[in-house]
Amino acid sequence: MKIPILLSAALLLLLLPGVPAAFSSQTPIKILVTNSVTPSPDRTYSTYVVYRGILIGGMRRLQMSNKGFKFTYKEDANYGPSLQSVNGLVRSPKRRTYWQLLVQTTSDKTIRPNVGIGCYIPNANDTIILKYSTY
């Protein structure tokens, strides 16, 4: 019985005002939308995720605050959210196109995360690259 009581107390502390700032701080990120299939200008947006928050949270925040950024996703029971469209450009198995997720770190290294938008936790000042690509 001691463990549930301790967990309840810890959760209560997280809900109270004045909890450590690390749990409420903002992690700034940029989102770069680029298209390697058809010529179109790149678009860069600024947003943030909360401390240790996931990418899709920052994308939702950006979509609510910036009319120029829109995205849709499809929920998969096994793999989580799968990015379907960005700014009206829809992935298409028929045309063999998809949205690739890349991350440019602050050390200018570009990585391909092994998780998607529903699990990736950005670091401060990462540039998230949503790249329309073919396969």
Chain segment 77-133, per-residue pLDDT in tens = 999 999 999 999 999 999 999 999 999 999 999 999 999 999 999 999 999 999 999
Nearest to 86 by CA among 102, 103, 104, 98: 98
Q: Which domains are seen in the chain, by residue range?
A: 24-134 (2.170.130.30)
Q: How many residues appear in the chain? A: 135
**Structure confidence at residue 39 (pLDDT):** 87
Distances (CA, A) of 27 to 43, 48, 67, 111, 121: 20, 5, 21, 19, 10
pLDDT band at 64 (very low <50, low <70, confident <90, very high): very high
The pLDDT tens digits for 8-42 are: 544 444 454 544 444 559 999 999 999 999 989 99
Between β-strands 127-134 and 97-104, what pairing exists: parallel, antiparallel or unpaired? antiparallel
The pLDDT tens digits for 93-106 are: 999 999 999 999 99
Q: How far apart are the first and last CA of the chain?
A: 54
Between β-strands 110-111 and 97-104, what pairing exists: parallel, antiparallel or unpaired? antiparallel
CA distance 7 to 13: 10
